Amino acid sequence: MSDNILQGKKALIVGGAGFVGGYLASHLAGAYGCEVFATHLPGEPTEGIEAQFTQLDILDLGAIEALLAHVQPNFIFHLAAQSSVAHSWQNPDITLDVNIKGSTHLLQAVQKSGQAPRILLIGSGDEYGAVRPQDIPVQEDILPRPGNIYAVSKVCQNMLGSVYAKAYGLQTIMVRAFNHIGPRQTPAFVVADFCKQVAEIEAGKREPVLRVGNLTATRNFTDVRDVVAAYALLAQKGQVGETYNVGSGHSVVVRSILQQILELATCPITVEVDPQKLRPIDVPVVEVDIRKIQAATGWQPKIPLQQTLQQTLEYWRGLV
Ligand code: A2R
């Protein structure tokens, strides 16, 4: 598959006003000259995102059908999700509705439309759950053992993508993205949470105590700008019906992330464990094998972790 089939094409980002959506829109417009369309929920701000926005709740099947008829996209990037593990424990029904029923709506609508866009369904490295030691680093074809409700919903999305490819010939390509980080991420995620707290402490807006959850978890953190570059490549070169891991390939323990952020701080800060930040089930080790995406697309993550942490902290310093 050629690597410039995106050039100048119509790309639709479903769930385009979230953390990844803004970066993906800029990348598609900037690197490929795409005409970028995107959806947002009512009330969700879209300022600064380089896309033509339409309001859409993916629980409304008729609205998706109307949008597809209007846009007629060549590529669809499906990002819309209830994306927080923590919220999925508190709101299981909304998580399953949006992430499973919502994804099914999109696939159904494409099938009914008779259009043939290439569709990238964004799932999560969390789908693998507690990986057996012999399966580390984790490859795409092992049996997922999801350990939380969010992960279950994304396993279902992945399976639905595969079923719609086989049954109806839809051009679905599935992604399992590991932790992505960067400026503008909400503090529901660990790096943004640490950086926001540090910025608030530096600004004298909170006592000099950083509250943390499980520091022993090992995660594969990748800069969001590298992640969206991977998505654009997979949309072009990924094989239909296949699943691809997206991650830096180098895992680090959360404690070391904390250490690096503390070293960037301009004042002394102590650390305290907050039991509310500990999750009911946490996956201790995530090591990822990225040979499949590299073989298919040649993708290489480029941005060093240190740079992402520095820029994320700068972002929060500018906000608080
Ligand atoms: O939850 P909100 O208000 O932030 O809105 C999110 C939106 N979304 C929906 N869009 C349409 N219909 C719905 N029923 C619906 N519920 C939520 O999807 C948000 O604007 C977007 C997802 O963006 P984030 O939550 O910021 O996720 P992020 O980090 O951009 O990740 C993109 C994808 C997700 O599928 C993750 O599960 C995966 O990458 O890792």
Going along 150-290, which residue ranges are E strands?
171-177, 180-181, 209-212, 218-219, 222-223, 243-246, 252-253, 270-273
Note the pLDDT of residue 278.
Answer: 74
pLDDT on residue 4 = 86
Residue with CA at minimum distance from ligand 1 atom 9:
80
Mutation pick for ligand 1 pocket among 12, 13, 14, 20 (CB with most ligand atoms within 8 Å): 20
| CA atoms 106, 222, 181, 45: torsion sign | negative
CA atoms within 13 A on the CB side of 275: 0
Beta bridge partners of 172: 119
Cβ 281 under 6 angstroms from ligand 1: no
Please report, in tens digits, the pLDDT of each residue of the chain (320 residues total): 555 899 999 999 999 999 999 999 999 999 999 999 999 999 999 999 999 999 999 999 999 999 999 999 999 999 999 999 889 999 999 999 999 999 999 999 999 999 999 999 999 999 999 888 899 999 999 999 999 999 999 999 999 999 999 999 999 999 999 999 999 999 989 999 999 999 999 999 999 999 999 898 888 999 999 999 999 999 999 999 999 999 999 999 999 999 999 999 999 999 999 888 777 666 666 789 999 999 999 999 999 999 999 999 999 999 99
CA distance 139 to 128: 9
Can you point out the beta strands (E) in 178-240? Answer: 180-181, 209-212, 218-219, 222-223
pLDDT of residue 190: 92
Q: Whose alpha carbon is nearest atom 33 of ligand 1?
A: 79
pLDDT number for residue 86: 84
Residue 73 Cα to ligand 1 midpoint, Å, equals 20
Tell me if 244 sits within 8 A of 292, measured CB to CB: yes
Write down the pLDDT at residue 168: 97
Q: Are strands 252-253 and 218-219 parallel, antiparallel or unpaired?
A: antiparallel
Q: Is 121 in the pocket of ligand 1 (CB under 6 A)?
A: no
pLDDT at 282: 63
Stated pTM of the model: 0.95
Instruction: Dig out the tokens for 276 from the structure.
Output: 């509310």
